[in-house]
Amino acid sequence: MDLTTAYLGLTLRSPLVASASPVTSRLDRLRMVEDAGVGAVVLPSLFEEQVRQQELADLELTERHEHAWGEAQSYLPGGPDVDLGGTAPYLRHVERAAAALEIPVIASLNGSTPGGWTGIARSMETAGAAAIELNVYAVPGRTSLTGAEVEARHLDIVGDVVAAVSVPVAVKLSPYFSSTAAVAAAIVEAGASGLVLFNRFVQPDVDVEALTVHPYPTLSTRDEGRLARTWIALLHGRLGVASLAATTGVETAEDVAADLLAGADVVMSASALLRHGPGYAVDLTAGLQAWAERKGFASLDAVRGALAVGVDADGDRVERAGYVAALAQARAVYGDLTVES
């Protein structure tokens, strides 16, 4: 079966994409996942904090010489000659990856507040990025911050990035909105060419012996993939031409197939490639091919969205019915869950 697919208006040789992780942080590993058959790669994120820190460093360097003699103005550091600190190595990585690989290279930009830092997306495009993945990572910690304000912030950031570049922009979302489907539609309306579902929040843990709180990053598990599939199945066919990418919980070829059946245009994997190595993409791709042949699918188009919620269906009712059915199944497995009167 031909695995060629479209994502963000780009033509990919495979629906399997290596998402942002240490695997995509080095050129040798990028070549390995390309050789293993992925359709595209997403580089690790450049963070808003890195961009702002560089802006402050540039300002300090300029102000240090602002009272110099007019005849010496050429002494001031020019843009191309200034080491951009955190941003310059990232842009060099984009440039080298784009030059070395034949598959599309997608740069990633991570931030949480509106501002001029989003303009760095233009530099990513200039460096050779075929698209930008915008990761809006924001955990509202203030009790005074409303859901509407959080959503407006997302739309502001998306609008800034989309306005800065001519390449397509995909937005990586959290699943924790009060109305995820409405936010997804609004982000597409704001100019995003696709959505990546979903971001994983890094949840801290408590060390009861050291009496400290510390970050506790973990690799995803297969069970986590069900959340993305739920929403992709609901959004498939409802967002116009916008692409949908499934991420998190992609461990096996069966997971890739399940995401495609739900309606994903591409399926992204990071944890599996970290666990098993970049070459594991070969197994995922071959497994997908074998599954499709076994099930009699002649094309990816026949697979994609085969189990999605129909566009004419009432999504609320479908989800409610699924919830009730799950409780009924639980009752059959674990016994009657009703409370005795």
Give the mean pLDDT per block of 10 residues along the chain (341 residues). 96 98 96 98 92 58 48 45 64 97 97 86 97 86 85 94 97 92 96 95 85 85 93 96 96 98 97 96 98 95 94 66 56 63 55
DSSP 8-state class, residue 252: S
Give this prediction's pTM.
0.85
* Rounded CA separation 186/6 (Å): 22
What are the Cα distances from residue 324, in Å, to 44, 313, 332, 339?
Answer: 40, 17, 13, 17
Tell me, what's the pLDDT at 59? 45
CA torsion, ordered 227, 230, 236, 242, to nearest 10 deg? -10
Tell me, what's the pLDDT at 63? 47
Task: Please say whether the dihedral angle defined by the alpha carbons of residues 38, 236, 9 and 117, taken in this order, is positive or negative.
Answer: negative
Closest CA relative to residue 106, chosen from 177, 157, 163, 167: 167
How does DSSP assign 44-59, residue by residue? EEEEHHHHHHHHHHHH
CA torsion, ordered 84, 106, 236, 164, to nearest 10 deg? 40
Give the burial class of 247: count Cβ atoms within 10 A of its Cβ; 0-12 exposed, 13-18 middle, 19 or more buried.
Answer: buried
Measure the CA angle with vertex 136, ends 130 and 139; round to 5°: 165
> Domains of the chain, with CATH numbers?
5-309 (3.20.20.70)
Closest CA relative to residue 319, chosen from 194, 188, 211, 180: 180
Tell me, what's the pLDDT at 326? 53
* Rounded CA separation 277/275 (Å): 6
Tell me, what's the pLDDT at 338? 58
Tell me, what's the pLDDT at 204? 82
